[in-house]
Structure 1
């Protein structure tokens, strides 16, 4: 076998081994932990409230549009919970900023939307945790509550 073919076979074998060890775990974590972390860090200011799908929501005076926030973070050197919470906090911060621009004081029907699969839970969000990255995609509706 030529040197080129040997190198190609070695690269293909390495790629197959790497793909076999790739990880993409769907994990669930409480959104309240992320909100409290964001409030403590000053990244969330409390002017926008977050309500997961199925959670009790105040009366809604107006719906101001839907949105999706997809955030990822480097998971190297972090446990899954830490990486997932940081990604979720980034998503909530993006929702907070957009809500303020739209005049909304809440994001309702907030749910996970990983790879276009909706996961609705009244208190938890889903995170895709891998070997290198962790990602959270949240979808929700901006609202003005009474």
Structure 2
């Protein structure tokens, strides 16, 4: 092959690679419903969250509420590379819970109640499960709750 043809072949190969790299990729987004109990048992979540702020999911019964301080949400992601979907989801869940806890402390709240999954602003309420979206590279959990003071 002469040098001109070789240069042309290399140029076409690079152009094809550049076009393929910019083409929209089919992103994986697998919706998973996972048990809250397992997530709270993983990654030392119970100890890391402690008991300074209480958490109530869905319609779980709470002590008498004296004041609702705010409603807020968080969306946390983690790298899913090299992790099982469950492990990545549990990491993202713990990150979301730690954000809710930090916000509760900022507000002086005793608890976060009515916690629901809120992925892409679509609420899913459960007392036993949370929603997680697992992708090829990233995994995400979005939670929303009310910050309250008890009587």
Instruction: Answer whether TM exceeds 0.5 for this pair.
Output: yes
Aligned residues: 141
- Structure 1 position 25, deviation (Å): 0.7
- Given candidates 91, 106, 110, the residue that maps to 2:96 is 91
Larger Rg computed on CA atoms: 2
* Correspondences of 1:75-114 after superposition (within 5 Å): 75-114=80-119
3-state DSSP class of the match of 1:118? strand
Question: In structure 2, what is the equivalent of residue 134 of structure 1?
Answer: 139
- Structure 1 position 7, deviation (Å): 4.4
Structure 2 residues without counterparts, runs of 5 or longer? 1-7
- Given candidates 12, 15, 19, the residue that maps to 2:25 is 19
3-state DSSP class of the match of 1:19? coil
For each residue in 1:55-82, what CA deviation from the matched residue of structure 2 results, as whole angstroms up to 9, or x when unmatched? 2222211111011111110100000000
Of 26-35 and 63-72, deviating more is 26-35
Question: In structure 2, what is the equivalent of residue 63 of structure 1?
Answer: 68
Structure 1 residues without counterparts, runs of 5 or longer? none
3-state DSSP class of the match of 2:48? coil
The alignment yields a C-alpha RMSD, in angstroms, of: 2.1
Residues of 2 paired with 1:34 and 1:145: CA distance? Answer: 26
Residues of 2 paired with 1:84 and 1:92: CA distance? Answer: 12
Residues of 2 paired with 1:35 and 1:143: CA distance? Answer: 22
Q: TM-score under structure 2 normalisation? A: 0.81
Of 93-102 and 67-76, deviating more is 93-102
Residues of 1 paired with 2:104 and 2:91: CA distance? Answer: 20
Question: In structure 2, what is the equivalent of residue 54 of structure 1?
Answer: 59
Residues of 1 paired with 2:63 and 2:128: CA distance? Answer: 16
